[in-house]
């Protein structure tokens, strides 16, 4: 089974993604970004809708406003729902010159383009929560490769809060590729299990075992992920060692 190459438009308006999977088998490998553990009813696997299906790209913000939704600053105290909104919010930030949230009106508010462009690269920082603010500064998509899989995937590390969430997400994303396809690979197997070892390449270019450092530190330094076959993982932590995962 070789799934056709499907181009996913992550930055586009909503709705496009959910229509692209054509067969039940493919749905497992279909990239649908979602919050781990979120309450959305159709959720069996990981899905993060870019936007609520009814909203167009920019109007998502006015919904945020009506809810008294989060600004970049006070995310730490808000729940998962808001984090989803934040994910949407931050998706928009890289586009820089997007017009003001409420009014999709050209040239309103009347701010010089120079100032708009300069401030777009200067996200407002919340002193109390520097880590949060750093996450707020940009998306953090990293490539994920799995030994033996025909193609790679990408995940946004900022949509996860801890290793468990990441592991669950990856497992679901790649479950179609595990040998003996239907075998259920448990959520922590990617980190603890015998079949696979999750590693990452850090800022210095070294390949590290996932799980040693606090989540925030990992998210900040991770450049790409690789799911290694256990048999290749010679020299890494022995199988029997207790998990050192810190959430």
Q: Any contact of residue 73 with other proteins (CB under 8 A)?
A: yes
Q: Any contact of residue 87 with other proteins (CB under 8 A)?
A: no
- The CA-atom distances, in angstroms, between 214 and each of 62, 169, 196, 223 are 35, 18, 21, 16
As a whole number of angstroms, the distance between CA 140 and CA 203 comes to 13
Q: Any contact of residue 115 with other proteins (CB under 8 A)?
A: yes
Of residues 9 and 95, the one with the C-beta less far from other proteins: 95
Candidates 69, 87, 187, 211; binder of other proteins (CB under 8 A) is 69
Candidates 11, 16, 111, 152; binder of other proteins (CB under 8 A) is 111
Q: Any contact of residue 26 with other proteins (CB under 8 A)?
A: no
Size of the site for other proteins (CB under 8 A): 38
Going by C-alpha positions, the residue among 245, 159, 151 that lies closest to residue 198 is 245
Nearest distance from C-beta of residue 22 to other proteins, angstroms: 36
Candidates 14, 38, 71, 221; binder of other proteins (CB under 8 A) is 71
Q: Any contact of residue 80 with other proteins (CB under 8 A)?
A: no
What letter would DSSP give residue 231? G
As a whole number of angstroms, the distance between CA 48 and CA 33 comes to 3
As a whole number of angstroms, the distance between CA 215 and CA 31 comes to 23
Q: CB under 8 A: which stretch of 10-18, 89-97, 147-155, 232-240 binds other proteins? A: 89-97
Q: CB under 8 A: which stretch of 111-119, 142-150, 193-201, 219-227 binds other proteins? A: 111-119
Pairing relation of β-strands 141-146 and 222-229? Answer: parallel
Candidates 51, 89, 170, 190; binder of other proteins (CB under 8 A) is 89
SS3 of residue 36 by DSSP: coil
As a whole number of angstroms, the distance between CA 224 and CA 217 comes to 14
Nearest distance from C-beta of residue 97 to other proteins, angstroms: 8
Reading the block at residue 93, the tokens are 């930030």
Contact predicate 151/234, CB 8 Å? no
Q: Any contact of residue 59 with other proteins (CB under 8 A)?
A: no
Of residues 92 and 154, the one with the C-beta less far from other proteins: 92
Q: Any contact of residue 134 with other proteins (CB under 8 A)?
A: no
Q: Any contact of residue 240 with other proteins (CB under 8 A)?
A: no
Q: Any contact of residue 131 with other proteins (CB under 8 A)?
A: no
The full 3-state SS of 147-207, as one line of letters, equals: CCCCCCEEEEHHHCCCHHHHHHHHHHHHHHHCCCCCCCCCCCHHHHCCCEEEEEEECCCCE
Contact positions toward other proteins, by CB under 8 A? Answer: 61-62, 64-65, 69-73, 89, 92-93, 98-103, 105-116, 118-120, 122-125, 127
């Amino acid at each position: 089974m070789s799934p056709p190459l499907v181009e996913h438009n992550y930055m586009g308006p909503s709705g496009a993604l959910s229509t692209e999977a054509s067969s039940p088998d493919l749905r497992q490998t279909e990239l649908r970004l979602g919050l781990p553990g979120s309450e959305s009813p159709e959720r069996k696997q990981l899905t993060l809708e870019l936007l609520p299906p009814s909203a167009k790209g920019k109007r998502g913000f006015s919904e945020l406003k009506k809810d008294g939704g989060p600004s970049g600053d006070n995310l730490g105290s808000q729940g998962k729902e808001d984090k989803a909104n934040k994910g949407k919010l931050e998706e928009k930030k890289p586009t820089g010159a997007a017009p003001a949230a409420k009014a999709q009106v050209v040239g309103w508010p009347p701010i010089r383009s120079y100032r708009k462009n300069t401030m777009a690269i200067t996200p407002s920082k919340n002193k109390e929560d520097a880590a949060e603010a750093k996450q707020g500064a940009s998306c953090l998509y990293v490539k994920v490769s799995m030994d033996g899989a025909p193609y790679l995937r990408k995940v946004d590390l900022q949509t996860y809060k801890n290793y468990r969430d990441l592991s669950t997400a990856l497992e679901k994303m790649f479950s179609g590729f595990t040998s003996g396809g239907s075998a259920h690979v448990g959520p922590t197997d990617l980190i603890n299990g015998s079949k696979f070892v999750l590693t990452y390449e850090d800022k210095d270019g070294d390949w590290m075992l996932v799980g040693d450092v606090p989540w925030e530190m990992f998210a900040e330094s991770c450049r790409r992920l690789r799911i290694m076959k256990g048999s290749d993982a010679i020299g890494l932590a022995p199988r029997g060692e207790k998990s050192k995962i810190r959430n």
